[in-house]
Amino acid sequence: MIDWARITQLRDDIGEDDFDEIVTLFLAEVDEMITRLSNGFDANTLAADLHFLKGSALNLGFRTLASLCQKGESASRAPNTDAELVAQVINAYAKSRATFLAELRAPPTKST
């Protein structure tokens, strides 16, 4: 679901303060997009919306979400895009977000 190696690499590359800022921005932007999709998606902009979500998800290691967005991006070009696919994207984000935040806030484990 989450690529923790990607998260560790990103945190190491940019530092803790910038990482926290990126996480805050990511969650705000993606939460906004998910809310829009939850309120009914626009078939004319769905491919672009899913492309945005896919890129954001890949940057922060949300593998499952990125994969579903890729699938949805391809499917959205076909007529009568299934609302179930959009629901899967929304659910994947909710689960990924909860897992990400829980693990991010968890105290580090001590090595013996």
Give the HSE-up count for residue 100: Cα atoms under 13 Å, Cβ half-sphere: 26
Taking the C-alpha atoms of residue 81 and residue 106, their distance in angstroms, rounded to an integer, is 39
Domain presence at residue 100: yes
Please, which pLDDT band fits residue 104 given cuts at 50, 70 and 90?
confident
Domain presence at residue 25: yes
pLDDT at 45 over 60: yes
pLDDT digits (tens, 9 = 90+) for 62-97: 999 999 999 888 877 666 667 888 899 999 999 999
| pTM of the complete model | 0.84
Provide the domain count of the chain. 1
Portion of the chain with pLDDT greater than 90, in percent: 67
Could you tell me the CA-to-CA distances from 19 to 46, 56, 70 in Å, in that order?
A: 29, 14, 25
Domain presence at residue 111: no
Domain presence at residue 110: no
Tell me the average pLDDT across 45-57: 92
Domain of residue 98, residue span? 4-104
Domain presence at residue 19: yes
